Amino acid sequence: MNRRFRNRLTVAAVAGLLVLLPLSGCASAPVPLQAATAESLQTAMLDITEAAAAGDFVEAQSLLTTMQDDLRTAAAAGQVSAERSASIQNAINLVSADLTVEIESAAAAAAAAQEAAQEAADAADLADENAQDDTAKEDAKDAAKKAAEEAADARDAQKECRKDKERDKAGECD
């Protein structure tokens, strides 16, 4: 995880925790965020932060989606005021954007690593083919040399045979 992401996630988490803390006020005024809901959302934010810190951005994103669903449910049940819900949702959006960037970066890095591995495998195959080609070339050169030596030996043998007139007349030298 890069430093910029850690800093943004930490700021977003702290901001989210501060936003989640219930406000103390008059007993007759409605609480913008019920204590049990605040505690549940704070626990979710801690789980998200821990998953992201461990580099498990997909899990962190999944937990964030669950937290967002819980926030919507709490808002619909009147456990969170509309203003407080919007504030928490803004913090969720920031963290979600950072997690998306990290997930995309990790996917791009994995794709680049896979491409590099494929290129290395291709290079190894090419080197192996070249080695085989070199061996075949050497074998062909050796065979050509041997054939040339055998042809020279055959010419020498024919010359020797032709020196013997009787063998030459008998057709043994052709």
- Per-domain residue ranges of the chain: 3-120
**pLDDT of res. 24:** 38
Top-tier CATH class for 3-120? mainly alpha
- Per-residue pLDDT averaged across 67-96, rounded? 94
**pLDDT of res. 27:** 41
More confidently predicted of 141 and 59 = 59
More confidently predicted of 151 and 60 = 60
**pLDDT of res. 5:** 56
pLDDT band at 37 (very low <50, low <70, confident <90, very high): very high
**pLDDT of res. 132:** 76
Average pLDDT value for the chain: 79
Angstrom CA distances, 81 to 13, 27, 88, 104, 161, stand at 20, 16, 11, 34, 117
Residues in the chain: 174
Angle at 76 between CA 72 and CA 82, to 5 degrees: 80
Q: Which residues pair with 33 in a beta bridge?
A: 80
Burial of 130 (0-12, 13-18, 19+ CB in 10 A): exposed
Distance CA 81, CA 74 (A): 9
Q: Is the pLDDT of residue 26 over 50?
A: no
Quote the pTM value.
0.56
Distance CA 95, CA 64 (A): 8
